A = this chain, B = another copy of it.
Amino acid sequence: MGVKQKRARYKEEFRREILDAARELFINEGYEKFSLRRLAEKIEYSPTTLYLYFKDKDDLLFAICEEVAEQFLDNLDRVGTLQTDPLEALRQALLYLMEFGLENPNQYKVFFFTNPMVYGTQEEFMERDSMARNSYFAFRKIVQDCIEAGRLREMDTEVLTQVLAVAAHGLIAMTLFNRSFPWADRQVLAHTLVDGLLRGYAP
């Protein structure tokens, strides 16, 4: 009964086409309403066709995560090299992270809150080259520079990097997911958070 038939000449090309459509679907319809079937409908293919280009849903989400991470990393690098003062670079990086999450909620949700294992085990995450991993490295570099310049207390770089990251992510995640709560202005929260992390709230 198939009336129209299409051929995707090059696998890579079509993969990109699918990913573009997926990203658009995420942005337009939101993270919650995304589904393989809707995506298939959007690109006017049968749902099963997707399985010729992606192993499963997680595989597709992983690809999207990498796209998002790439975009994020590009901007983070610009932020990092723009400032001469390492501490100011860190401040800007933290602010940028939060801005990125808040301005691209759907992409952020895919990136940080989908299937918790799309990047494999912890060892695999650190060994395999991925945009997500490189983002972390870039961020860690900024933190390290601060420590080496004596602008941050001497302490375990890994721990400090992670603490700073989770604090920033917390602001994004909470204001994004906990919509019933009357949050203060996000800009104010973001700046206050960075201030507190760097200077502390004690007088």
Contact = CB atoms under 8 A, between A and B. Distances in A.
Interface of A: 87, 112-113, 116-126, 136, 150-156, 158-160, 162-171, 173-184, 188-189, 192-193, 196-203
| Majority-rule SS of A interface residues | helix
Counting from the closest, the 6 A-B pairs by CB-CB distance are A170-B170, A200-B200, A119-B180, A122-B182, A116-B179, A167-B167
B193 A196 contact: no
A188 B155 CA distance: 12
Kindly report how many copies of this chain are found in the complex they form together: 2
B169 A173 contact: yes
A147 to B, nearest CB: 9
A69 to B, nearest CB: 13
Given A200-B200, A201-B160, A126 B182 contact: yes
Contacts of A154: 203
Contact of A166 (B175, B198, B201): B175
A200 B203 contact: no
A85 to B, nearest CB: 12
Contacts of A163: 171, 189, 192-193, 196
Contacts of A126: 182
Given A150-B203, A158-B184, A178 B116 contact: yes
